[in-house]
A and B are shown apart, each in its own frame.
Chain A
């Protein structure tokens, strides 16, 4: 037997072993499910696999992608950011408030991001220094942000006429819309930060085993605060994208953002116990959810069924995570 055959046989066996390992599938569930959804809807609906519709899916998914990346940072620390249900709204209302008072786009966007980031930092501080669980703190933050959005806007939506935001919403480089580009930048930056920097390793270590990380001298409190700051920052970015897309700032809470961001993270194979996950997975999860909703709409399924579909997919995928190793 030649050396080449031995190597090839060995590689084949290794690949076979991976393919038979349920963990391999569980980690990549979102990507395979995304492919499956695209294929199924492509067969069922002639309009699904058109360039125009795929662009629409990516554009509609852009905001969720940004939020999913933020949620991922909270979840890998073994936490969760429930405030993502309201901080994008609050950021959007801030944009409306400043633009409405002729404060300028730049100031509006800066303030929006600043307020949302502050929410993240404060949540992180209360969680790490105060020793209160993530769930409760961010639930409180969700409520506070909801209230602040109502107070600032006086409970009324305002239209936002702003050339910059209009360009952001409608412009593109070639076929790639600015909003898609922004989501892509966030996803790539989120991936690089998590897997190619010292902070990323400390983040995963803190989420995986806080005590071990602390013993090795990792400042676990600072890691936690930074993770929530990132989540808050991205909520601010998402708020700006939202304002640009709908052309107005609405104080109504977006519970789908919260649910779908958590769903994307679960679909993306991020362990809810922390310490393990990816950015690509949740991004695929976010696109999967968006494609699913788009496909159901194209098929004429009542939109009342959509939450049912999302919920079922999430629970199904959570089952798969049991096979993660």
Chain B
């Protein structure tokens, strides 16, 4: 359960201020599938980062499963990220020197899972994105779609209750993009994972039952079909 109340985010750039988010109000119940749309620079990533506990709001409050996370310190936030959230970045963000398997097992490493368990669970996660045969490849040896699937496996490996994807298909062709969204949908439908998806693609957004539109840091529409 995500409860965002009156959240603003202000970046100070010398004398000027950039209001990336203004007074945002957003509740997302567990198991929902929400698409966030809006023009470039409207504040979508900023909002996602706050939801994903990577960033904290300048003002307002954010509760995650009833826990006030908006004023937590960084180590506490790290633990929340590790336990509850799976983040899929537009630019994959895989560690180049590590194999797909090692990349996937990183969250487990920081969760203190034993070596054997890590291996088992990471292989299982790779299996879900159908990449078992690429487990020992480095990111440079994988295609864009495969890299994003590794990143998704990594986001899933800790069995998070929330999956956040910030333009996960932005760097992929349409066909691969569809496949990945289909995978997300399955996870949402079959396993009840809360799914929040940022996208530019109107058609993709239409696949989500609920669509939130942000313009200039403000939520201008919140439609459920």
Bind each other: no
Which residues in A have some Cβ–Cβ distance to B below 8 Å? none
